[in-house]
Structures are given as C-alpha cells and as structure tokens.
Copies of this chain bind each other. A is one copy, B any other.
Amino acid sequence: MSERVIKVGLCGFGVVGQGVFNHLRKREKLLSDQLGARVEVARIAVRDTSKKRDFEFDASMLTTDPVSIASDPEIDVVCELMGGTGLALEVTLAALKAGKIVVTANKALICDHGERLFTAAKEGGGQILFEASVAGGIPVIKAIKDGLVINRFSSIYGILNGTCNYILTRMTNEGASYEKILEEAKALGYSEADESLDVDGIDSAHKAVVLAYLAYGRWVPYKDILVQGIAEVTQEDIAFAKENGYAIKLLAVIDVAHASGKLYISILPTLVSKKYVLGSVDGVHNAVSIHGDVVGETVYIGPGAGRDATASAVIADVVDATKLIVNGGAGRFVDPAPRNGDQIELAEPEEIESRYYVRLEVADKPGVMAEVASMLAKNEVSLASVTQKEVEENATSATLIITTHYTTEKAILEAVKALEESSSVKGKPFTMPISSFED
C-alpha cells in the first residue's frame, strides 16, 4: 500500500520555521509509523531566497509568495510563521477559504482577527490550530480544548511573557534596576530590539485574549483590557514583595467577577504570594493556572518561547491536522470554544475587586499623611498598611507604600488619580493588585 503523504507549506522560515522543518524531518519515520501517513514539508515561503539558513533543503521548494502556498491545491496544511497581522492575515484567510488546515503561532493575529478567522474556517471547511500562540511549548491550549473539555472555567491566571518574567526575576535576585536588566536581556537576545511588545504587556494581552476565547467563547477587544507593563517596577516594590512573602509577576488574569458573573481580563504587575505555585515560577518560564469547575485547579509550567519549544507546539498541531485529514474529519470545522448561547458580558471596573499596593512619592512635610489617607477614604479605599521609610535629614520627599483592603478597580483608579492631582504627591503613583490566591 502506498503511504499517504500530507504536504505542509511553511510560510515564514525564520527561527521557528526552521525549527519546525528540522524536527519534522528528523522524526519523519517515527511520525509516519504512528500516523499512517508521511508528513512532508513541500513548500517554503521566505522573504529573501538568497539568505543562508541553518539547515539543508531543496531550494526548489522556496517561493517569495506565501499566498501561492495558501492557495496551492497540493498543500494540505499551511503553517503561518511569519508574524504580523498584515500579510499573515491574507495568507491565513486564503488558506482557510481553500479549506486547508492552518497552523499558526501568531497570537497578535488570533487576538486581532480571531472572529474573522474562525468564520472563514467555518465557511471554507478549514480549521485553524494555534497551540504555539500561547505559552510556547506548554500544551495548554490542548489542555483547555481537550483534556479539560467537560469543564467550565472560573478563572485562568498566567505568566505569559518569558522576557518580563526573566527581567523581574533578575531584578529580584540581583537588586539591579529595570533599565540595567533590560539592556542585558537585549544583549543576550532574550528581548527584541523593540522591547515594547514584551515589557508593555501587549504580548501577554494577545495571549490572554486567546485563552479567554477558549474558556468563555467570547472575543474580547484588546481595548477592553487593562494592560500595564513592568517598566515602572522599582527596587522599592521588589523590596516590599520580598519582605512580605510575595514575588512580582506580570500576571494575566482572566476571571469572572464573583457577584455579577461577568468576565474581565487584565495584564498587570501583581504581588503574587510565594506560597502559591505561580509565585515561584522564575526566569524565562511561563505558567498557566486553570480553574475548572469539575477538575479544580491544574497548573502548567514550561518554556514559553524559543525556537524548539515553539516548534514542538507547532508540530503538535501539524500532527493533529494530519490525524484529522487521515481520519476524514478535516472538513468539519470544530469551534474549540464552548458556545454559551448568550455571550458572557464584560465586567465594569466597579465590579472587579482586589487588594492593592500603592507606592507614591510625597512631600516630606506635616499633614501629608492625613491628606493621602483622607483622599483614599473619600474614594472608599480602606488602608491595610502604610509604610514610610525614614528619610534623610535634608530630603524634601519620602516614599510611601500603602496596601489596601479589598476594594474595586474603579475605586482604586479614582483614588490614585486624585492622589496624582494632589500637590503633595510627586509624579505618578504606582499601583498593582495583591493576589494571595487564598480563595
């Protein structure tokens, strides 16, 4: 019997694309034994055909036109590994319209155009698989889609950006400033030349939108997410965290407000208890905690980026695609998210509750503490602790660190705004939630 061949087209042949190519070829025999079909990279789209690559391959596979791969009737599976949301969108839509299975690692694409892509898949009889788009090599999307399929989800917490976690870990371990560690991370290749996607929380937000869709069946617009990066975290914050049993993590929170049952997503530097498993996930690692109503909490930890880790996830999807094609289920689009009938609503800031940490620089003069306390009280924010370190004799300002009891996001944002406008407060106060994960 002649073996069936599944033809894969790689659109993008950078770090991840070459990793996919290499590992698919190295394990070709093992895969074909398991799958009853041979998985073959048949075409590769690149920007520059003359560029030197890490692996040997037949140059006749190359094209500079990824759309031609997406519409090639010979190609079964299209791997979109170009990044961006321009040409990548065009390629993905073309492939889905042609009824192909698209495998992508592109969280920005899914976040910005998920609804349109899923509709195109449904209409064209294609599928879109995106394991590599969240948490790199950790198969967390398959866990939500398959392993935990019977669950409804009450919350998902994630450390979704390895670069931020790496910087915060080194700031904690070494006592160095954000600026210094970021510079070194760039030199080591752990952060892009333009670091803003990572450190401003944008990448984490893209991933959170994908997770929220899987868990709740709703595409949350990026603009409806409260996103703050790690650039304002200082050694004062880290010292507070250490002294009080916390670690600072850029935490993605996808949660349902207790009272209203509405959904909210935020990406914020957060004080996470060291006793809680996510508080101890350090370095470039990612971690995702998923609360299911049947299973309880499961946690997934591992490498969130890197050529091989991402390739591992892309190939897992290529294998799933191959099984679908071999079994005959490829043409029936399966929406991975539960259709809840009535879509879950988004929570308003007054429905979201947390404890908060506030650091502010105040004038070192009589009456300031009373003024700050009264501004918080006016916004119904109740103080849990206040710390002011002793200042030098000739200093004109002092750092005040405040923690609050449970209050709403609306109240804390308004209180902080009021503080910022006060003449006794210098600069912008820095605020982050405190998550003890006791409940």
Contacts and interface: CB of A to CB of B under 8 A. Distances in A.
A142 B147 contact: yes
Interface string A146-162: 11111100000000000
A328 interface: yes
B319 A149 contact: yes
A316 B149 contact: yes
A371 to B, nearest CB: 43
A122 to B, nearest CB: 13
A294 interface: yes
B23 A312 contact: no
A320 to B, nearest CB: 7
A334 interface: yes
A404 to B, nearest CB: 28
Contacts of A332: 36, 326-327
B296 A34 contact: no
Nearest to A298: B302
A201 to B, nearest CB: 24
A309 B296 contact: yes
Contacts of A308: 294-296
A324 interface: yes
Interface string A325-359: 01111001011001100000000000000000000
A323 B332 CA distance: 11
A229 interface: no
Contact of A312 (B30, B34, B150): B150
A190 to B, nearest CB: 15
A303 interface: yes
Given A34-B334, A298-B138, A298-B300, A312 B324 contact: no
Given A299-B300, A329-B329, A23 B150 contact: yes
A148 B294 CA distance: 25
A277 to B, nearest CB: 6
A154 to B, nearest CB: 14
Q: Of residues A146, A335, A338, which shows the largest number of chain B Cβ atoms within 10 Å of its Cβ?
A: A146
A297 interface: yes
A7 B279 CA distance: 44
A27 interface: yes
A315 interface: yes
Contact of A302 (B27, B295, B302, B339): B295
Contacts of A31: 149-150
Nearest to A327: B329
Interface string A133-177: 000011100110011111100000000000000000000000000
Interface of A: 23-24, 27, 30-31, 33-36, 131, 137-139, 142-143, 146-151, 277, 280-281, 292, 294-303, 306, 308-309, 311-313, 315-316, 319-320, 323-324, 326-329, 332, 334-335, 338-339
Given A27-B150, A150-B311, 17 more contacts: A23-B294, A30-B338, A33-B338, A33-B339, A34-B149, A137-B294, A137-B298, A143-B147, A149-B319, A150-B312, A294-B312, A295-B303, A298-B302, A324-B327, A326-B332, A327-B328, A327-B329
15 contacts: A23-B150, A34-B335, A36-B332, A138-B147, A139-B142, A139-B298, A143-B147, A146-B320, A150-B319, A294-B309, A296-B306, A298-B301, A323-B329, A327-B329, A328-B329
